[in-house]
Chains A and B, each alone.
Chain A
Amino acid sequence: MFLQALLIAIWAGIAGIDLFNGLTHIHRPVVTGLVVGLILGDVTTGIIAGATLELVWMGMVPLAGAQPPNVVIGGVIGTSIAILANQDPNVAIGIAVPFAVAAQAMVTLLFTIMSPVMHKADEYAEKTNLKGIEKINYLAILGLFLFYAVIAFLPVYLGAESAQTIVEALPTWLIEGLGVAGGMMPAIGFAMLLKIMLKKEQVGFLILGFILVTYLKLPILAVALIGVSIAMYDYFNQKNKPNKEEKKEEYADGI
């Protein structure tokens, strides 16, 4: 059993990477069912369970920031339980979904923890340390692999009940609190952008973009096209002005 659990954990790690990187979609339950079936020696049950889970997760897609229950963990644990406990796939779904939800909360945690690392990356960028930037990304991939492998290993090896106890023992206030912090964190990224971009005479456009989404609920594509219209108008307006190039600006370019 240990070896089988280990193999399933390795698959979960690979699938976990594919969920965000590569995106060949070998992480979908329809594929995971076949692989887990091969590992546990019951391919037919695996394939059918995987396909059943696939149909469940098909409607749960990561649209603009909304996080569905984790499809990798849901697929791996769902198909494993369907085979190991000889359960009907639909029952396996019921057992797998709580794990998938817990796993997604942990992913939130991971994305929050990775934020401070970006400042190390800033240093590397400043010093043109290409190897450093590459290292951060490769290590992050390794981290993703281990993260998914461990989460998948426990329920398969210990059995769902024991694993459930571990999940329940996690400090939810901490994980949920970090999730809240994660939701606020893009504000720091935008603030850093604004520090560079914001010019007094253009503040109005920032407000306008905010209003278009907040009150008119326009999609970003519409906002961008409005931006293009204004930008084009501004460009031709400026271009057709009699040329009064300020000499002062010529020097300000630091040439």
Chain B
Amino acid sequence: MESNLYEDRSKEKVITKRDLDKMAWRSLLLQASFNYERMQACGWLYSLLPGLKKIHKNKNDLSKSMKMHMEFFNTHPFLVTFIMGIVIAMEEAKESIDTIRNIKIATMGPLGGIGDALFWLTLLPIAAGVGASISLEGSIAGPFVFLLIFNIVHFALRFGLMRYGYNTGVSAITKLKENTKLISRAAGILGLLVVGGLIASYINFNLTAVIHAGKATVDVQKDLLDKIMPNILPLGYTLIMYKLLKKGRSPILLIGITVLIGILGHLIGIV
């Protein structure tokens, strides 16, 4: 088990406003390498690199930090900079890796829900509605009005939240300076609770099989599995993957197994 503390724990202030802006620009590529296994993780790490490089002069620390930021990550692409700000403040204060991970996990889910309500259900319909109604009259101004309304809000939030997140992080850390061990333990509770919730909401795994027995038909998912416990397959599959990882199986092998189950299961009509 690796230590979850950074080797070099000198708390230098190295992050400038320019660094924050640089990372906010990079956050536009958050979903460049989006995939189902880690979702936005690789784009998230890409966005943080300018800050991490400056904070961790020690190569082992940089390696630890980068590895942690390659773990599963998914949040709302417009509000991500708020989490980036908090996380960079924590990295700069050399908080323990476990604490940073747990705070990251605890903030990413809720922001997803808030962002959906804010952007997809509010800003986009308003901006697109105004733009489209101008366009329908055959005016060329429609698209420009739409882009202007949408992006003023978009970029103000993206860059504003980066600074706000960073300042929030810095002031919270100074308040919580005492007992890091207790903080790390409390953050662990929070992180695990959220991961439990994510397992129930992010994994799509249902059986489609229907068993015909004489005149009766049994829908395996609805009539059997959901009666035992809803989301039993997502939970079970996560635990099986966990066991296999614990046994030292490689994640690539697990991807292979999953693809096989998906394709073969779909061919014979189970999933």
Give the interface of A toward B (CB within 8 A). 20-26, 28, 30-31, 33-34, 43-44, 47-48, 50-52, 54-55, 58, 61-65, 111-119, 121-122, 124-128, 130, 133-134, 136-138, 140-141, 144, 173-174, 176-199, 202-203, 205-215, 218-221, 223-228, 230-232, 234-235, 238-239, 249, 253-255
Contact = CB atoms under 8 A, between A and B. Distances in A.
Given A118-B70, A183-B36, A25 B146 contact: yes
Given A24-B151, A178-B263, A186-B36, A210 B252 contact: no
A191 B187 contact: no
Chain B interface mostly helix, strand, loop or mixed? helix
Interface in B109-147: 109-110, 112-114, 116, 120-121, 124-125, 127-129, 131-133, 135-136, 138-140, 142-143, 146-147
B42 A191 contact: no
B80 to A, nearest CB: 11
Nearest to B43: A137
A189 B72 contact: yes
B35 interface: yes
Interface string B65-78: 01101111000011
Given A21-B30, A137-B33, A190-B198, A227 B189 contact: yes
Nearest to B52: A130
Q: Across the A-B interface, give the 9 residue pairs with the lowest CB-CB distance, nearest first.
A: A209-B196, A181-B262, A183-B204, A177-B263, A114-B35, A220-B109, A51-B135, A189-B72, A191-B241
Contact of B197 (A173, A187, A223, A255): A223
B131 A54 contact: yes
Contacts of B151: 24-25
B128 A30 contact: yes
A24 B151 CA distance: 6
A50 B265 CA distance: 40
Interface in B250-270: 251-252, 254-255, 258-259, 261-267
A47 B265 contact: no
A231 B28 contact: no
Contacts of B231: 210, 213-214
B216 interface: no
A191 B242 contact: yes
A249 B182 CA distance: 13
Contact of B138 (A47, A58, A121, A134): A47
A33 B109 contact: no
A210 B71 contact: no
Given A183-B204, A187-B238, A31 B154 contact: no
Chain A interface mostly helix, strand, loop or mixed? helix
A178 B262 CA distance: 6
A180 to B, nearest CB: 4
Contacts of A58: 124-125, 128-129, 132
Nearest to B176: A235
Contacts of B203: 183-184, 186-187, 190
B192 interface: yes
A44 B251 CA distance: 53
A48 B133 CA distance: 9
Contact of B189 (A174, A184, A195, A234): A234
A186 B186 contact: no
B174 interface: no
B245 A195 contact: yes
B264 A177 contact: yes
B160 to A, nearest CB: 16
A128 to B, nearest CB: 5
Contacts of B187: 231
A231 B135 CA distance: 52
A137 B42 contact: yes
Given A65-B204, A195-B246, A186 B185 contact: no
A234 B189 CA distance: 9
A82 B112 CA distance: 36
Contact of A52 (B5, B136, B200, B255): B136
Nearest to A57: B128
A197 B131 contact: no
A55 B37 CA distance: 33
B113 A221 contact: yes
